[in-house]
Amino acid sequence: MKAPTRFLTNEKGEKLAVVLEIEEYEKLLEELEDAEALREYREAKASGETAIPLDQALDEIKRNRKRPADA
């Protein structure tokens, strides 16, 4: 059975925060990360850009990275 939702309130009874079990908090974080990854995937697919292999992308980043001024 799921624990009841608990709130922190001010002296007027207005809700200020919610108290979650750590397991529920971690589950919500994971679901949020999954949703963000899906949104990013859909944006990338809709952009029409051609994908490149990860190794190639990392090589390009290394080549284009600015070197320190004193190097």
Q: Given this model, what pLDDT does residue 59 score?
A: 92
Contacts 24+ apart (CB under 8 A), 44-47: none
Residue ranges of domains in the chain: 6-64
23/15 Cα distance (integer angstroms): 22
Q: Which segments of the chain does DSSP mark as H helices, in order? A: 22-47, 54-64
At 44-71, the pLDDT tens digits run 889 988 888 999 989 989 989 876 655 5
Mean pLDDT of the chain: 89
Task: Show the tokens assigned to 6.
Answer: 């608990």
pLDDT confidence of 31, banded at 50, 70, 90?
A: very high
* pTM of the entire predicted model: 0.58
24/26 Cα distance (integer angstroms): 5
28/3 Cα distance (integer angstroms): 15
